[in-house]
Amino acid sequence: MIKSYLADRTNSNEPFFDEMTTPDGKVWPHWEKLANAYEKLGIERMEQRNKEVGQQLRENGVTYNVYGDPNGMNRPWNLDPVPMVFSQSEWEVIEKGLSQRTELFNIILSDIYGERKLIRDGLIPFEMIYNHQGFLRQADKIRIPGPQQLVQYSADLARGPNGKMWVLHDRTDAPSGAGYSLENRAAMTRVFPDMIRENQVRKISSYYQTLKNTLSTLSWKNKENPRIVMLSPGPSNETFFEHAYLSSFMGFTLVFAQDLTMSDGYIWLKTLKGLEKVDVIVRRVDDVFCDPLEFRADSHLGVVGLMEAVRQKNVMVINPLGCRILENPGLMAFLPKLSRNVLQQELILPSVATWWCGQEKEKKYVLENIDKLIIRMIYRNDKNKSVYGGELSKREIEQLKEEIKVRPYLFVGQEMVDFSTTPSLIDGKLEARNAVFRSYVVADSENETYYVMPGGLSRSSPKKGVFIVSNQSGGISKDTWVLGHAKEQVQVNRPPVIVQQTENILPSRTGENLFWLGRYLERTVSTIRLMRIVLRKFNETDDEVNIEHDQTLVTLLKGLTSLTSTQPGFHDKRVLKDPEKELYSLAIDQNRFGSLAHSLKSFLSNGYAIRDRLSLDTWRILDLISEEWEIMKMNGTNLRGIYHRLDHLIVHMMAFNGLNIDNMTRESTWRLLNIGRFIESSIGTCLMLQATLSAKSTSDQEKSLIELILMSNESLVTYRYRYRSNLEVLGVLNLLLADDRNPRAIVYMIERIDDHLKQLPSLGIGTGLSPARKKLLEALSKVRLVDLDELAELKPDADTRKELKQFLGDIIQLLQQASTLIYESYFSHTQSQYGFVKANRLPEI
């Protein structure tokens, strides 16, 4: 395997520097142990290890969202089993260079929003700063405590043909990828523990601890026990997995914009207990989206009034708003001079060669060499993409030149760097692929220095000669190994920071997701159980018998329509004549409200939105559920295939339920999930009894229906052992309505709802029962006081059990009213914070 790779590199005419191979075809010394290990493993065992890596990531639910991906939003995270490797000596240079670069950017940031001496002295052109969208005038003169204004920094680096490391991009606004780096290392440690030990690979966990320690000291007001939240754009964001993973790993509350509000100059978190003050916000939202009142008025990702709370020093935002100005690629052209003037040092890590067109000489060079350069605008967004001059037509080049001449200060030209190649496992073979390395730096407030993660996130291109290696374009991630022992850090004698245990605060939005997760869990389970019974009955029916003449099957089909609320459904005689189309729709049409597919999709969506609250094993079960659903969709035109997949799906659904019963702490999260479950299950049971036992039927049909109803409620065995008699309506009603020892009984479930509800935080002023609990008490009293004999009786001249139908309808109505009251008490947020933000207030720059 290694010999083949060395031979390919020796015979290759490609100009790229290779990370593993020297120009004369030998292995670099720091790669020798790894190369020998790969050679001993052989390609077959390497492929097996590669599958194990992928399995680890899938089981951990590691995903990356790709907008517009036909395969769905949650694309599995790809990790190459061959890492990016740095020797100890070369890493020391990179580490020193990154620390220096971060320190320089920290000084620039402080100056831009402070004295602006660098601009007045001509070291930074004012046109390049004031015309950049990242320069936020609202953030002027705002500082965070201490000398380090830049808390987090990230840089994309690549090695050029001469082996020198170059910085391609600077990331300061809301740098991403640190969570994926941690998950990559965890997967590689499980699959290649021997290689990591033998090569003395540096650990990266100290980066996250340093970040946590620094954040805990940054609060303006509550310094002893600050409430830190991580602000995410939401589940559809490309790196949402990372937001949930890091917030859970570091013990921060994951929040979305609707979870926060500004009042009295403070930022508050909406929780089940009411409003809780927030001290530090770690944002994963771009700066101009953070406050629609002061920046982009069309943003729904930020908090109205956040900037005012920052001005009043009532909340800390990390990285500070306005940091995106440092991502200006035009700054790269001025960094060497700035380093000499500000730090009195030469810049250790050079930037890719950059020409800012705001200078006449540089503009002329770019215009004359435009076909050899990458043209970028000084700020990046969805509209401003990098342009490769060599790929443009003559007409497009002339058009671009005109744009540069009109507004030259908005454009830069950059050299096209040939990235180095690194070995990657592609289709059962080690092949060279161009790669980029992303580093991570964090402020160490204790030592007033910057700490560089000894590793990071590397990405390689999926195809040869491709230099676009972003995750959105299909780039493959690689773990990054820094070899050698870590240097001992100099400790400064400071008072220890005491981080106290904080209460598990539950945002109202998270509570709402948990409530609906429970409801969709039970809705999905109930639909699967009844659909299995219906499909089995349907598949066993003689083809020569008309379906509409089989009264038992007709009643079950109508019951399925009632349970799923997909009327008219099987209540339409035309549908009954050919039920297969309707059954397909109920099984796999995810756009049809009430269908199994829709309920399952909603279940997974709510689970994904609260992934930071669920255990790792729970995520493995969710992954299995998602896989079963994908398989079932492929059997969408085969009822027998669908029936077979339902058997697997119900097992995974119940495993999910069992894990949460066993693992979840008995806090509001667990209670809200179970409140949703029991409400949905109670309503579903009432609907089923109403649809199947209200109408008159023959004795044999009734017994058959009773048996199937008990089966769908997992109560058939209990009935037989409890009553030891024929299947009777009275016995069924007693077991499923009034038996408080049966966990499937209405009375049992209503009692559990009330037990959970009274343990939730009380939002009312009085000490009496809440409106929701009053409705539950009314429903419970009705069940306990009802005359079951009267409900079970079918009068000789009647076609239906009217009393039973009316009683069940009343219980359903009371449960629905209780659900609405619970929603209004805990999840109905106050008036939208965006209501007074004028749309289109700010023009697009």
CA proximity to 62, closest of 602, 624, 619: 619
Residue 842: per-residue pLDDT: 37
Residue 845: per-residue pLDDT: 32
Helix (H) or strand (E) holding 83, with range, is strand 79-86
Residue with tokens 């990657």: 424
Label each residue of 16-43 as H, E or C. Answer: CCECCECCCCCECHHHHHHHHHHHHHHH
For every residue of 120-166, DSSP letters joined together read: HTTSS-HHHHHTSTT--GGGTT---SSS----EEEEEEEE-TTS-EE
Residue pair 102/150 in contact (Cβ under 8 Å)? The answer is yes
Q: What are phi and psi of 205, to 5 degrees?
A: -65, -30
- HSE at residue 170, side-chain half, CA atoms within 13 A, is 28
Residue 219: per-residue pLDDT: 85
Residue with tokens 């990285």: 319
**Distances in Å between the alpha carbon of 312 and those of 189, 215, 262, 306, 564?**
46, 19, 12, 10, 52
Q: Which residues contact 92 (CB under 8 A, 6 or more apart)?
A: none
> What is the rounded distance in angstroms from the CA atom of residue 138 to the CA atom of residue 296?
13
| pLDDT tens digits along 168-216 | 999 999 889 999 999 999 999 999 999 999 999 999 999 999 999 999 8
> What is the rounded distance in angstroms from the CA atom of residue 70 to the CA atom of residue 48?
28
Please report which residue ranges of 614-736 form alpha helices under DSSP H.
Answer: 616-634, 639-663, 668-693, 699-712, 716-723, 729-733
Please report which residue ranges of 162-225 form alpha helices under DSSP H.
Answer: 178-191, 193-198, 205-215
Residue 122: per-residue pLDDT: 93
| pLDDT tens digits along 817-838 | 999 999 888 886 544 555 545 4
Residue with tokens 């100009």: 15
- For residue 480 the two structure tokens come to 């990054």
For every residue of 507-551, DSSP letters joined together read: BHHHHHHHHHHHHHHHHHHHHHHHHHHHHHHHHHS-TTS-GGG-H
Residue type, 835: G
- Sign of torsion, CA 25 28 29 32? negative
| Radius of gyration, alpha carbons of the chain | 32
Residue with tokens 């671009």: 400
Helix (H) or strand (E) holding 229, with range, is strand 228-231
Residue 811: per-residue pLDDT: 96
The domain limits of the chain are: 64-352+417-482, 513-664, 674-761+769-825
> What is the rounded distance in angstroms from the CA atom of residue 510 to the CA atom of residue 697?
46
**DSSP-based three-state secondary structure for 609:** helix
- For residue 699 the two structure tokens come to 């004795």
List the 373-377 sheet strands across, edge first.
354-356, 411-415, 373-377, 387-388
Residue type, 550: D
| pLDDT tens digits along 547-575 | 777 888 889 999 999 999 999 999 888 88
Residue type, 705: L
* Torsion region of 146: left, alpha or beta (phi above 0 gives left; psi -120 to 50 gives alpha): left
Residue 74: per-residue pLDDT: 61
Paired strand residues for 170: 155
| pLDDT tens digits along 604-638 | 999 888 888 887 788 788 888 888 888 888 766 67
Residue 537: per-residue pLDDT: 85
Residue pair 553/570 in contact (Cβ under 8 Å)? The answer is no
Residue with tokens 């809301």: 174
- For residue 4 the two structure tokens come to 């083949």
Residue 264: per-residue pLDDT: 92
Query: Judging by beta carbons within 10 Å of its beta carbon (0-12, 13-18, 19+), is residue 824 exposed, middle or buried?
Result: exposed
Paired strand residues for 316: 280
What's this model's pTM, rounded to 2 decimal places? 0.85
Whether cis (ω within 30° of 0) applies to the bond prior to 447 is no
> What is the rounded distance in angstroms from the CA atom of residue 21 to the CA atom of residue 430?
13
**Distances in Å between the alpha carbon of 530 and those of 583, 689, 816?**
12, 12, 22
CA proximity to 128, closest of 302, 334, 429: 334
Residue 467: per-residue pLDDT: 54
What residue ranges of the chain have pLDDT lower than 70?
11, 13, 15, 65-75, 382, 465-474, 486-504, 542-546, 635-637, 763-767, 828-845
- HSE at residue 175, side-chain half, CA atoms within 13 A, is 25
> What is the rounded distance in angstroms from the CA atom of residue 184 to the CA atom of residue 549?
60
Residue type, 203: K
